[in-house]
Amino acid sequence: MGVRRAAKGIGEFLVETVGETIAEALLSLLACALLVCLVFIAYLSWSLSPRLTVVGGGLLSLFLAHGAWVTFRDPARGRRRRGVAAVTTVGFTLTAATAVFLLFYATGCDCL
């Protein structure tokens, strides 16, 4: 019985290791593709109109700054986030999550 249990344990370990390796490779590939798409969008935008790219970057920065401010400030009692505050909070949260994802998985990306 000891041999069967050991073989089953080794088999489970190998399946888990291979699964983690494949998942890590897929996440790295996804992060690299996302990074390439972001760089391509910035390049395409800059090649079409540098002024509009700078203005768009400034507006995006204001949008994200407002989202961060709304996220980290103390809300008034009995008031929920509405309208622009809710949209900027969601935008900031998605951008922060994307940045953390790229930080963890795109640091070893040799595609650039």
Domain span holding position 60: 2-105
Q: What is the pLDDT of residues 49-104, one digit of tens each?
A: 999 999 999 999 999 999 999 888 877 666 676 788 889 999 999 999 999 988 88
Number of domains making up the chain: 1
In a domain, 111, yes or no: no
Sign of the dihedral through C-alpha 86, 90, 95, 97: positive
Residue 74 falls inside a structural domain? yes
Q: Smallest Cα–Cα separation from 71: which of 61, 62, 81, 57?
A: 81
| Residue 112 within any structural domain of the chain | no
In a domain, 110, yes or no: no
pLDDT for position 40? 93
- Is the residue at 89 inside a domain? yes
Note whether 9 and 89 are within 8 A (CB).
no
Structural domain includes residue 24: yes
> Is 44 inside any structural domain?
yes
